[in-house]
Amino acid sequence: MKTIDDYNFENKKALIRVDFNVPLDGDFNVTDTSRIEAAKPTILKVLEDGGSAVLMSHLGRPKGKANPDMSLSHICDTVSEIIGVQVKFAENCVGDAAETAVSNLENGEVLLLENLRFHAEEEQGDQDFAKALSNHGDIYVNDAFGTAHRAHASTTIVAQFFPGNKCFGYLLAKEIKSIEKVMQTGEKPVTAILGGAKVSSKITIIENILDKVDNLIVGGGMTYTFIKAQGGKVGDSICEDDKMELALEILKQAEAKGVKVHLPVDVLAADDFDNNANTQYVDVNEIPDGWQGLDAGPKTLENFKQAILDSKTILWNGPVGVFEMENFAKGTISVGNYIDEATQKGAFSLVGGGDSVAAVKQFGFQDKVSYVSTGGGAMLESLEGRTLPGIAAILD
């Protein structure tokens, strides 16, 4: 696996695919800079070698048309601030404006190209568009894990124009190694904590990881599909009746492979999907009609704690309760604390996938786990066992 450390960028232009698809407020201020900060080490390595960096990214979903609200010019000052170098901006990513800006770029300088998705050809994976982008650099660096599952022009197609001169940036290399640690090289016992609302969205992940894990902790809304399938009463809890057979099949497969499945035994139930609803702790199999399970109960958390603290490798994907409401966040916070404790004892912990990353940030766990993945969809597809096109293009 070739990384940025395999190259010296002296007098070279690095064409770097970054993921600067960051959230902006109504005044176009960046409200979460973590993706920009994550790309900083890769950019600095190029500059410190004595080269220059041409950055390309998308922002939002402009659907192939220029949209001033989604211009990357809005984030230029923030990128400059974080990198510590005044970043130049090109008003297009291809064509005369881009070519002139690139040719004027000197060693030690950084140029940010305009939003790639202002051109429909980006998402179409167009060859000619990728070729035009390739003219902006001597070496292609992919450091955008968040888009590595897309076969777009800038993430995949462009790589073929750099035979022998393409590599992973630090961030993408770290993502690949972290997933490998969980899926292939992780020290046992390996525990996967899967939460979230639906079994259907996690089926492929569960099927793929059953051969790799020793413990499977199930939490969140998908709990109730498993419980109802086993004959429990789930009241008004979220439940996929059409996935109950599948839930039983998963339990059967897990047993056959020697994987211990930890399902909740008690839950915090509410009489409404509302932070101020009436609540009570009930047995997970005996949720009264008109009530719904919205968080893990104390006995459940005690069981989860033991499994997590005994683990050497931990994957966390999905919250175990409706953490967005303060009264139903205790379970998710507790799981975060157990993972923190296990990590301090030497376990490797990887957090990935939309909601769990949001929870980790909300409750301040990002520095207490080994690694927080930057790519939701890409992370999930990796866990499903798929080879991501953006990664395959560099390895090719």
Residues known to be catalytic: 35, 198, 354, 377
67 belongs to an annotated ligand binding site: no
Q: Are 191 and 315 in contact (CB under 8 A)?
A: yes
Check whether 336 is labelled as a binding-site residue: no
Is 278 known to sit in a ligand binding site? no
356 is in an annotated binding site: yes
Task: Say which DSSP state 62 is in.
Answer: -
Annotated binding residue 262: no
Residues in the chain: 396
Q: Is 121 annotated as a binding-site member?
A: no
340 is in an annotated binding site: no
For the chain, give percent helix, strand, coil, nearest 5. 45, 15, 40
CA distance 378 to 388: 7
Q: 150 among the known binding-site residues?
A: yes
Q: Distance (Å, rounded) from C-alpha 348 to C-alpha 370? A: 6
Ligand-binding site membership of 388 (annotated): no
What's the CA gap between 320 and 294, in Å, rounded?
9
Question: Is 186 marked as a binding-site residue?
Answer: no
DSSP, residue by residue, 307-357: HHHT-SEEEEES-SS-TTSGGG-HHHHHHHHHHHHHHHTT-EEEE-SHHHH
Helix (H) or strand (E) holding 16: strand 13-17
What gap in Å lies between CA 206 and CA 308, rounded to an integer?
18
DSSP class of residue 188 equals S
- 111 in a known ligand binding site: no
From the annotation, which residues make up the binding site for (2R)-3-phosphoglycerate? 35, 117, 150
